[in-house]
Amino acid sequence: MLERELKTSSRTDFVDATGLVQAVVDELEITDGVVVVFNPHTTAAVTINEGADPDVVRDMSVALDRIVPWQDDYHHAEGNAAAHIKASMFGSSVTVIVQDGRLQLGTWQKIWFCEFDGPRRRRLWVRSLTSGE
């Protein structure tokens, strides 16, 4: 498993992590198999979605704020209950097939690190299920 750090710049931030994950695949010399991309934080998530049009992640952010507003009748003492809820909606990991050393993503797909309680320094873990790393 390899750990990589990334930095988010706002409370809600979608960071394209595709290149970071591909770099790990290259470093581990994975030619064919599967990698798991895992986020070890409770107020952030990982997802795969469109990366060609920046309005897609903008629209996801706006919709999430409508569905789970930052201020509501939450009881969580730290004041970031909305971030925990949003992170649970997206999930903590994605699995991606690797073939011929390349991540097998659809034409428009990117791997997004989803920040819901930033800005922060975050970690992302990548592990091959085939190489024993």
Full residue range of the structural domain in which residue 111 is found: 2-128
Q: Is the pLDDT of residue 133 over 60?
A: no
Q: How many CA atoms lie within 13 A of 21 on its CB side?
A: 32
Does any domain span residue 27?
yes
pLDDT digits (tens, 9 = 90+) for 35-65: 999 999 999 999 999 999 999 999 999 999 9
pLDDT band at 130; cut points 50, 70, 90: confident
Question: What is the rounded CA–CA span in Å between residue 90 and residue 47?
Answer: 6
Whether the pLDDT of residue 94 is over 90: the answer is yes
CATH code of the domain in which 45 resides: 2.60.120.460
Is 108 within the bounds of a domain? yes
Residue corresponding to tokens 């595709």: 18
**Number of structural domains the chain divides into:** 1
Q: What is the pTM of this model?
A: 0.94
- Residues in Cβ contact with 27 at an 8 Å cutoff, skipping those fewer than 6 apart: 2
The predicted structure's pLDDT at residue 41:
98
Looking from the CA of 49 toward its CB, the CA atoms found within 13 Å total 18
Residue 133 lies in a domain: no
